[in-house]
Amino acid sequence: MSEEVDLRAASGWIEPRLRAEFPRLELDWVTVQARLGESPRELRGRLRDLSNRFHGQTVVAIRQQPIGHAYRVFFREIGLDPDITRPPLEQAALGRLRYGQFVSEGLLADAMLIALVETGVGVWALDADVVDVGGLGVRVTVDGDRLGAGSHVAAGRLVVADAAAVHAILFGEIAPGHAPTAATRRVMLYTIRVEGVPRIHIEEALWICVEALGAG
C-alpha cells in the first residue's frame, strides 16, 4: 500500500508569453508517497479489461473524439505533427494493437496507463525529490538550457521546468535521473490541459493514477 497521499492538486505556472498565446494551457500536479515495483494482480486485471475496449478502428475513433481532437490540434499549434509524434492516447492504442493487449510494465507505468485510457488525459511522473519546492510550470527554452544535467535543448522548445531545472520536454522525454525509480519514495504526477479538454477529466486522471498507486 502507499504510505500517504497528498490529495491537494496544485496548478503550475505558465510562462506569460505562452499564457498569452494559449490561454487554456495548464499544468496540474500532485505528490504521492508510494513504493514502486511490480503491479499487483488487481491492476494487471484492469489492464486486461481495458484491452478489450480497443480494436482496429480505435485510433481513428480517438482522433474524432473531443479530447483526442483537442490534443491533436494543440500538437499542430506547437509545431508537432500528431501523425509522427502521437498524442498519448493514440500512442497507447497503437501499442495495444501491436502487442494484442496492454502490457504491464510495473506499478507506476500501469497506473499512468490506466488513467490515460480511462480519461484520454496523459499523466507523467517525476521523482518529487528532484523538483524545486516552488513546483512545476511550462516555459520556452532559451540558449544554454539542458534537459536536467544532460544534453542541451534547442531554444524555442516547450518544456516542463521549475526555477532550477528543465525536467521534461512537454509531452516528451523526461530528464535523465528525474524519472521515478524503485528507490523513489515521493512521486510527482502531472498532467497537461489544453483548449477543449474539460478540467474534470484532468482531475479524474490524477485521482485514478493516485488510487492505482495505492493498490500497490
| 177: containing domain | 4-214
Say which CATH number the domain at 68 has.
3.50.40.10
- Say if residues 164 and 178 touch (Cβ distance below 8 Å): no
Handedness of CA 150, 179, 28, 171 (dihedral sign): positive
Q: What is the pLDDT of residues 24-43, one digit of tens each?
A: 999 999 999 988 999 999 99
Closest by Cα among 91, 169, 95 to 126: 169
Residues 118-142, mean pLDDT to the nearest whole number? 95
The predicted model scores a pTM of 0.91
Q: What is the pLDDT of residues 142-182, one digit of tens each?
A: 999 999 988 999 999 999 999 999 999 999 999 999 999 99
Model confidence at 1, pLDDT cuts 50, 70, 90, reads very low
Quote the mean pLDDT of the chain: 91
pLDDT at 56: 66
- Say if residues 145 and 152 touch (Cβ distance below 8 Å): yes
Please state the domain count of the chain: 1
pLDDT at 132: 93
pLDDT at 35: 85
